[in-house]
Chains A and B, each alone.
Chain A
């Protein structure tokens, strides 16, 4: 498959490339069946852009995120990352180098913060893997990153349970920023938040992208948000890539029947559906 045909490929520099990535889980038991979570995925992400990955639950979105983060080992295929020296396979990269370049914001803002640690400790923990820091230095660094995400001194010494869901997700983002990564994987960062808070977090993420030149891989099932937020979109279904392209093109004019189904399932029809399918469904309803 040539690079030009990969989702996300464009005129700009490719910072992350996924080639033929597969993940097979063996179900429990001596002759357990193989379950294909991810099948021959290819994609490329360009610097400073946002690639959205959409699909229903179990479509392999989170598996992809974990493989890209090297939290699991792929069954086949590879993920490569642009370093100063060129594209490098992440399988050969030591953890220290990998996680300087790429970080992840987890889905559940409640489960992803250790309930027994104060916020400054949580936010500055990634830095301690790279340099020896005193308590004061850790708190200063933590405050810096908290301010970047719109929090401040008031939250520095709090425990996670003292914060709201939106604040917790900001802490998660601050932690992910602490190693100054170039790529952020956002694994459904909004799904546990209510709508008004979702909007604040989206705006924060857009501001950060503009200010820091971040590249996002945005995993979501909310097509309304994807349309507002992403440049390109990749649609997945049961481990297979179904469709990809620029957001406007894919969402205005979906080529695949599954994408159309996804669009139709958006509550409140936040997205204008293509004329053909909409009229068809109206007739069916009438």
Chain B
């Protein structure tokens, strides 16, 4: 039991990362628990248009309403759910594809390695948001296609890390020992190489999360991602743009949410990197 608690503490990234970690946990709770407890709807329209925030936790539109009379607090909460959920899906899918391709490139080398790494170079040589726009332009706009685009953009970071780890690991004596006991290549990959790739992959996943959320929001803002009724932070920013002078809080609130989330993920990612992967720590 004590060991379990100790492991729980070890998950805390440490330093500034702890603050980021706490912010993320509270955003998660807010996004996924608050709608169950409170009567929140991001789509319900009230008569009060552009009501200013009351800042009183007991009154109903705590953070006021937007230009259509929708509860800003409810929209921000559902936006957190949307951003974190999309971030998770994007990172999970690009992690699985990226780790798989990285292992293949690292183990087999030769033309397969060259092919995979040139594709990765191709993805990395364009600014990611530009590439996302290109992909969305090809696939058509919409939240689903935006997720696909951001997922594709998330792949290269995992491929590069896992490929270099795999090449290093394959030189190790314990890998040779595994081959010398009759293990197949697949078994060596699974039980000897992959576990050693986990720490850098966790770090990349944390940093990938923040990039994914930022890119989804950017696509939403440009009108290429989430479409208007959906409560998504980037789309909310775009909707509120006409009111930036008369009601600046409508823009500031979703913007602050994006900032806070991305900052928290970066803090956690940096702290995890310092802890799990000392070789990459900034000097």
Which residues in A have some Cβ–Cβ distance to B below 8 Å?
69, 71, 95-96, 98-100, 103-104, 106-108, 111-114, 116-117, 125-126, 128-130, 172, 175, 178-179
Contact = CB atoms under 8 A, between A and B. Distances in A.
A116 B181 contact: no
Contacts of B183: 125-126, 129
B182 A175 contact: no
22 contacts: A71-B176, A96-B182, A99-B180, A100-B182, A103-B181, A104-B177, A106-B173, A106-B177, A108-B173, A111-B172, A111-B173, A112-B177, A114-B195, A114-B196, A116-B196, A117-B191, A125-B178, A125-B181, A125-B191, A129-B183, A179-B181, A179-B182
Of the candidates B174, B179, B183, the one having the most CB atoms from chain A within 10 angstroms of its own CB is: B174
Nearest to B172: A111
B241 interface: no
Interface of B: 172-174, 176-184, 187, 191-192, 195-196
B173 A95 contact: no
A98 B176 CA distance: 15
Contacts of A96: 182
A216 to B, nearest CB: 16
A96 B183 CA distance: 8
Contacts of A106: 173, 176-177
Nearest to A97: B182
Nearest to A176: B181
Given A69-B180, A98-B182, A175-B177, 5 more contacts: A104-B180, A125-B181, A126-B183, A129-B184, A179-B181
Contacts of A104: 177, 180
Which of A98, A100, A111 has the most C-beta atoms of chain B within 10 angstroms of its own C-beta?
A111
Contacts of B196: 114, 116
Given A114-B192, A129-B187, A99 B181 contact: yes
A130 B196 CA distance: 25
Nearest to A96: B182
A20 to B, nearest CB: 24
Contacts of A100: 182
**Interface of B (DSSP majority class):** helix
The residue in B179, B180, B187 that gathers the most chain A C-beta atoms within 10 A of its C-beta is B180
Nearest to B193: A114
A100 B182 CA distance: 8
Given A114-B174, A116-B196, A126 B179 contact: no
B125 to A, nearest CB: 29
A208 B47 CA distance: 88
Contacts of B178: 125
Contacts of A179: 181-182
B179 A178 contact: no
Contacts of A130: 182
A69 B182 CA distance: 10
A111 B174 contact: yes
Nearest to A94: B182
Contacts of B181: 99, 103, 125-126, 129, 175, 178-179
A112 B187 contact: no
Contacts of B172: 111, 114
A113 B178 CA distance: 10
A106 B176 CA distance: 9
B173 A112 contact: yes
A156 B192 CA distance: 18
A139 to B, nearest CB: 16
B182 A113 contact: no
Contacts of B192: 114
Nearest to A114: B174
Contacts of B184: 129
B190 to A, nearest CB: 11
The 7 residue pairs across chains A and B that have the minimum distance between CB atoms = A126-B181, A99-B182, A111-B173, A112-B173, A129-B182, A114-B174, A95-B182
A117 to B, nearest CB: 7
Contacts of A129: 181-184, 187
Contacts of B195: 114, 116-117
A113 B182 CA distance: 16
A30 B12 CA distance: 52
A196 to B, nearest CB: 24
A113 B187 contact: no
B3 to A, nearest CB: 12
A245 to B, nearest CB: 29
